[in-house]
Chain A
Amino acid sequence: MAHLKFDTALSRLEATVQSLEKGDLPLEEALKVFEEGVRLSKSCLKTLEETERKVEMLIEGKDGKMKRQPFSPK
């Protein structure tokens, strides 16, 4: 769940809503699907909330290793 890609989570969320909309699920199943949907929507919004706004620059060092450094526009 932690590394579920946004789009994967989103399409699964859509699927849960669709299967609830069909309305032919027994209550027990419907509750399961609902819980899954809530979980997925949380995971979708989590990536959003957790992404910290940052601008960095990737620099290739002389040893060939890549390093990040803060970007300050000139």
Chain B
Amino acid sequence: MPDLFAALSPKRRILRVHELTSEIRGLLEASFSDFWVEGEISDPRMPRSGHLYFTLKDTDAKIRGIIFKSHMRFLRFIPKEGASVLIRAHLSLYEPRGEYQLICDYIEPMGAGALLAAFEALKQKLENAGLFHADRKRTMPSQASRIGIITSPSGAAIQDILQVMRESRFPCRILIYPVTVQGRNAATEIVHAIEQLNSYSLQTHGNTLDLLILARGGGSFEDLAPFNEEALALAISRSLIPVISAVGHETDSTISDYVADLRAPTPSIAASLVVKSGMDSIEKVLILREALLDRMKMILSAQRDRIDLALRLLAPPRRQLQFRAEQVDHLALRLNQAITRVIEARKNRFKTTELALNHLSPLSRLSELRRKHENLNMKLIQEVMRDIERKKDRLQATMEQLHLLSPLNILGRGYSITRLLPSLRVVRDPGDLSKNDRLQITLQRGKLNCRLEDKIVCN
């Protein structure tokens, strides 16, 4: 009866199929968001989409599962038919088909040596990718003075390393990047540490790191799992700074050992290698410096020998030079003499020529002219003298004529000249005279000084 049903559920809730499915999906996803499940792989398929479909089963049940394409690259191995696996997954529901399925996040082989198998598989994968290739690896610095160490600050590894460094007294700076080296987060932390130390080394000028050491003490295979993770392997291969992997004991080997540029069996051996390489390189420098000095000494002494030899070879020419010098002196002497002789000869010839030339010389003509001139002069003088003589004669004659007219001649005839003294005025008129005047009378042969007694004036 409808009413009865109506009474029991006053309001009917009628779901559509997709609503129901959606609710179931919600419940499933919430309840099974992250779990581990083990089982056997059955019927794996990979269609064009690139997703991997499979069925996980055990003897009593089976469940569908999928690995999305985007997750495939994180897998260490591709599960095959019948493989026992451990899967980390969450549940979801594919609504169009009403099927719930495992969404696989992580898958690894199960059973005995499952981890080892995974390890081998990853190792193979990385080897195929060329990560272990010697060509890819960075060369170790022969002298690492700045070293980054990625390890647990409280672990044994760092103590071992520091002890070796201390004992060796090797001069280096150590920069520790603390990480956890075990457990789920270890790999992620170590990857981060590698990246951080690289960027730190790039950024800080003067703090460039020469080397990174990835260190961890010994442990079980499971303990070392972080060092077998692909992400870490890739980080090591990306590092710009050379990396030494020093994980576990001698017998342990990890993926990081293979990828690293150098594998050290233990952390203390890693430190020893660094120290030894450093010491060796210093020794090498010292040896090279020694060789450099020796070589230079040899070159110099070889040069000195060459100079000595040259000097010895030069010695005889020196004597020769002396001989030559004497020769030169001798020749110079002879030359001098020769020149003197030549000069003498020239002189003589010159003299002869001079004599010969004298006749023609204007000088000789000049003296001739001079003589002529002197002759002429002489004649001129004689002429003048004769002229003077003639004039003298004429003067004589004239003077004789004059003498005839002279008063003195008149005096000779008895005439006299009376002069008044003291003026010696010739007296012409007795009127000009007075008694006792003093008079001088000039006669032909002398003079008379007289005193006037008396005067007779004629009219």
Asked if A62 is an interface residue, CB under 8 A from chain B, the answer is no
Q: By the criterion CB–CB under 8 Å, are B292 and A58 in contact?
A: no
> Which of B159, B178, B288 contacts A17, CB < 8 Å?
B288
Kindly report which residue of chain B lies nearest to residue A22, judged by CB atoms: B295
Residues of B within 8 Å of A25, CB to CB, are 299
Q: By the criterion CB–CB under 8 Å, are A6 and B173 in contact?
A: no
Q: By the criterion CB–CB under 8 Å, are A38 and B289 in contact?
A: yes
Residues of B within 8 Å of A48, CB to CB, are 143, 145, 171, 282
Kindly report which residue of chain A lies nearest to residue B139, judged by CB atoms: A7
* CA distance in complex: A6, B440 (Å): 156
* CA distance in complex: A13, B284 (Å): 10
Indicate whether A52 sits within 8 Å of B289 (C-beta atoms), given known contacts A10-B142, A30-B296. Answer: no
> Which of A23, A49, A57 contacts B175, CB < 8 Å?
A57
Indicate whether A7 sits within 8 Å of B288 (C-beta atoms), given known contacts A27-B299, A74-B154. Answer: no
Indicate whether A41 sits within 8 Å of B284 (C-beta atoms), given known contacts A27-B303, A58-B200. Answer: no
Q: By the criterion CB–CB under 8 Å, are A52 and B292 in contact?
A: no
Beta-carbon contacts of A27-71 to B below 8 Å, as 1s and 0s?
Answer: 100110010011001001101110111111111100000101001
Residues of B within 8 Å of A21, CB to CB, are 291, 295
Kindly report which residue of chain B lies nearest to residue A31, judged by CB atoms: B296
Beta-carbon contacts of B239-273 to A below 8 Å, as 1s and 0s?
Answer: 00000000000000000000000000000000000
Indicate whether A51 sits within 8 Å of B296 (C-beta atoms), given known contacts A13-B285, A58-B177, A58-B197. Answer: no
Asked if B380 is an interface residue, CB under 8 A from chain A, the answer is no
* CA distance in complex: A17, B178 (Å): 44
Q: By the criterion CB–CB under 8 Å, are A71 and B299 in contact?
A: no
Would you give 19 A-B contacts (Cβ < 8 Å), ordered by A? A6-B281, A10-B288, A13-B292, A17-B291, A17-B295, A20-B296, A25-B299, A34-B292, A34-B296, A37-B289, A44-B282, A51-B145, A52-B171, A54-B174, A56-B175, A57-B177, A58-B200, A71-B176, A74-B153
Interface residues of B (CB under 8 A from A): 139, 141-143, 145-146, 148, 153-154, 158-159, 162, 165, 169, 171-178, 196-197, 200, 281-282, 284-285, 288-289, 291-292, 295-296, 298-299, 302-303
The 6 A-B residue pairs whose C-beta atoms are closest, nearest first, are: A20-B295, A41-B289, A51-B145, A51-B171, A37-B292, A44-B285
